[in-house]
Amino acid sequence: MFSSWAEQVSTLESEGVYIGGWSLKNLVRPRKDISGEYATSEDRIERLTTVRADWADEEERRLVRKLDARVVFPCCVVYMLAYLDRSNLANVKILQAETPDSLETSLNLKGVEFNWAVSVAYFAVTAMLIPSMLMLKKFSAKVFFPLCMVTWAVIIMTMAACTDSAGLIVARVFLGIPESGVVTCGVMYFSFWYKPRERALRIGIFYSSNSIAQAISGFLALNSKSDFKSWQWVFIIEGAMTILVAVPIYCLLLTFPETSTSLSARGTLYSSQLTSIMARPSTYMFFLGYICIAIAAVAQATFLPTILHTLLQFSTQKANLYTAIVNLVAVPLYWIYPLHSDWTRERMWHFNIPVLASIPCYAVWTYTSSHAGEHNISYISMYGMAFLGQLLLLSQPVLLSYRSATLYGAAEQAVGTSIAVAALSIASIIAPQMYPNSDAPYYLAGFSATAGLLAAGNLCYSTIPLCLFLEARKRKKETGNALPLQAFVDAERSQAEPKTKEADAA
């Protein structure tokens, strides 16, 4: 039965459709055939669908290095600043805690008002995902990203003037509008410049920006001795920093590889593509797998300083510092792990392993919370579990790389990527409700629910090869092609002259 499955998958993949599987053979290193060529699915498909290059390998490597400097680096800075401004409530919540100058006391936040202040920004983010991509297409990344940066910087600085919960919540809603397209547009932007086997590393570096942002936010969250309160200073400094950086970002960013005329055809969001993607079971499995891990990731990012402060009884400064350490340790892993996934072209276990490894963190926290005063686990050991919990972040770039490789044509790339990243936005609405103040200091419900979500995320993601196989076989029977027909049209439009690309990157 297994050999029959492998043969059928190989037959469908010979037409250019990517399915993948559960094999462990590529987990450590990629396989090569007798001719020395990489024998993975991604490599076979790339050789099948890519026009034969008429430029040398060194020319291509030089071009990719230029693209990294002009595409990946500025996008990482944009994402870091966006996440810094969006997630700073996690750190400012515990600044000057239990004093009249704390955020919650200054704004008279009651009950779950703080949790909703975190969540409401993501309602706007979710609603603006598609419009933001249309704006990117119209204005180009070179204009779109700096414009968004200046807009959200002004909003974040005005948050320092908030005097009550209503003002904070309204400001957070408006903050979500300019920040809505950062992740979606960034991932889509990469798909136009990089091959599938190059994307996981770039997406991993891109996603590492949020860990860097959380670490910076922790260092910025220091007690103030001026007329402003500590939480007000955090908002002012972060907003001013974003405005200053917007100018060099404008100078660095490139537009798209194609001319504006080609981009118009390539970037159009066809309703037929939306209908087609929404009819595929794999769309929902990618979405459910992502939303499960994203809820855990966002909740930990939002409440880790609070958990360390309340459950582990760390001081405010120690909680912020130790949170920064957890995030900084994750940064090199964000780069190395997706790079290994790109090298082996393996996507299934590179997702499942870090998610499974993070479950013990929440299992231990659940145990200690349900046995308060009855266990012998030290606070520093419980803090050590946070490093395991952070491992689930490594799975996100692998999932998005897999998702991107299973979308065919520019219209599918735009719509399919938006649907996948929408999971992150929706998770960001749900996650702040996982750890309400009423559950402090043990957060038993939040910890146990998170462990369950991670297990569910593994299960959903593991069904994806089967879903992709059934979809490709159905298309083959109905149209005679395993690939969607629109992919053949978009493939012709997406071919850009290498000299043109290099000239734009120069």
- The maximal CA–CA distance of the chain, rounded, in angstroms, is 73
Question: What 3-state DSSP class applies to 32?
Answer: strand
Number of H helices, E strands in the chain: 25, 0
In sequence order, what are the residues at sequence separation of 6 or more whose Cβ sits closer than 8 angstroms to the Cβ of residue 234?
A: 88, 91, 92, 95, 217, 220, 221
Q: Indicate the domain borders of the chain.
A: 66-260+277-500
Q: How confident is the model at residue 219 (pLDDT cuts 50, 70, 90)?
A: low
Q: Are residues 148 and 178 in contact, defined by beta-carbon separation less than 8 angstroms? A: yes
In this prediction, residue 273 has a pLDDT band, given cuts at 50, 70 and 90, of: low
CA 87 to chain centre: 14
What is the distance between the alpha carbons of residues 326 and 331, in angstroms, rounded to a whole number?
9
Residue 233 has a pLDDT of 79
pLDDT, position 47: 65
Output 205 or 215, whichever has higher pLDDT: 205
Note whether 61 and 154 are within 8 A (CB). no
Query: In this predicted model, what pLDDT tens digit does every residue of 108-159 receive, in sequence order?
Result: 878 778 888 888 888 888 888 878 877 887 888 888 999 999 999 999 888 8
Does residue 262 register a pLDDT over 80? no
Residues 6+ apart with CB under 8 A from 452: none
pLDDT at residue 261, as a whole number? 33
Checking if the pLDDT of 438 tops 90, the result is no
Q: Which residues contact 56 (CB under 8 A, 6 or more apart)?
A: none
Per-residue tokens: 228: 């402003």
Measured in whole angstroms, the distance separating CA 437 from the mean position of its chain's CA atoms is: 27
> What's the average model confidence in pLDDT over 455-469?
95
* Torsions phi, psi for 55 (to 5 deg): -130, 160
- Among 1.20.1250.20, 3.40.605.10, 3.40.50.2300, 3.40.50.620, name the CATH number for the domain at 66-260+277-500: 1.20.1250.20
This prediction has a pTM of 0.75
pLDDT of residue 229: 72
- At 313, give phi and psi (nearest 5°): 60, 35
Does residue 395 register a pLDDT over 90? yes
* DSSP character at residue 38: B
